[in-house]
Amino acid sequence: MNGSFRITEDYIGEGLRMVQAKPADTEAVAALLIQTAEWLRSRGSSQWSGLLTGEDSHNTAGAILNGDVFVCTSEDGIAGMVILLRQPSEWDRRLWESKAYDGDGALYLHRLAISRKYASIGLGGSILKWCKDGIHFDGKDTIRLDCIADNAALNSFYSKNGYTCLGEKSGFCIYENNLHQ
């Protein structure tokens, strides 16, 4: 595990609890990501399409082992997930340029995914709020994310959830939000 954190709010809704993913969750997390990629493809998006051919650019299994994956659990399994990197990935370094370096005070949010069963209850927004207010990482005061620039609905979602778009780079919008410490 890289860096310390404490979960300050476990429950984000009735019967929905945020916990750090364990290696035993790897298969269920992978299934959720593939389900999400298939749903995106059904809506005409190529976003996350690499997952459908076995390519995982975020090495989710490794991220689970590093302690960077958090899942929203319900009585019937994993309802959602998110990766919170405490150090920027190579992708983040390219996209954020001089802002992204080890020890930069930022968390990097990736792979927010919601089971289609829970898609209509606002779980995505609840997980984003939890990432900001329900978990505390030592030395982190900012949370950053990116999303494909031509996905208007996703960009609107991040803006509505308090993230500020700082511009576009290489076809991706980059967003930032302050963490409540």
For residue 1, the model assigns a pLDDT of 42
Domain coordinates of the chain in residue numbers? 5-178
Position 30 scores a pLDDT of 96
Cα–Cα dist 142/177, whole Å: 6
Architecture field, domain 5-178: 3-Layer(aba) Sandwich (3.40)
Q: What is the mean pLDDT of the chain?
A: 94
Report whether pLDDT(170) > 80.
yes
Q: Token pair for residue 141?
A: 């005061």
Cα distance between residue 5 and residue 51, in whole Å: 29
Task: Give the pLDDT band of residue 99 (cuts 50, 70, 90).
Answer: confident
Note the pTM of the prediction, 2 decimals: 0.94
Banded model confidence at residue 3, pLDDT cuts 50, 70, 90:
low
